[in-house]
Amino acid sequence: MTPIQEKLTPPWKEAWQSFYKNKLAVIGLGIVIFFIVIALVSPWIAPYSFKDQIMAERMQAPSSKHWFGTDDFGRDIFSRVLYGARISLWVGFFSVLGSVVVGTTLGIVAGYYGRFVDTLISRIFDIMLAFPSILLAIAVVAILGPSLQNALIAIAVINIPNFGRLVRSRVLSVKQEEYIMAAKAVGMLDARILLRHILPNSISPVIVQATLAIATAIIEAAALGFLGLGATAPTPEWGKMLADSKNYITNAPWTLFFPGMAIMLTVLGFNLMGDGLRDVLDPKMKQ
Asked if 183 and 112 count as a contact pair (C-beta separation under 8 A), the reply is: no
The percent of residues above 90 in pLDDT, for the chain, comes to: 27
How high is the mean pLDDT of the chain? 85
pLDDT in tens, 103-119: 999 998 888 887 888 89
Which residues contact residue 20 at a Cβ distance below 8 angstroms, ignoring those fewer than 6 apart? 26
Q: Where are the domains of the chain?
A: 43-49+67-285
**What is the distance between the alpha carbons of residues 240 and 122, in angstroms, rounded to a whole number?**
35
pLDDT in tens, 36-95: 999 999 889 988 888 888 888 888 889 888 899 888 888 999 999 999 999 889 999 999
The pLDDT assigned to 15 comes to 67
Quickly count: other Cβ atoms within 10 Å of residue 157's Cβ: 20
Question: Which superfamily does CATH assign the domain made up of 43-49+67-285 to?
Answer: MetI-like (1.10.3720.10)
Which residues contact residue 58 at a Cβ distance below 8 angstroms, ignoring those fewer than 6 apart? 70, 71, 72, 73, 74
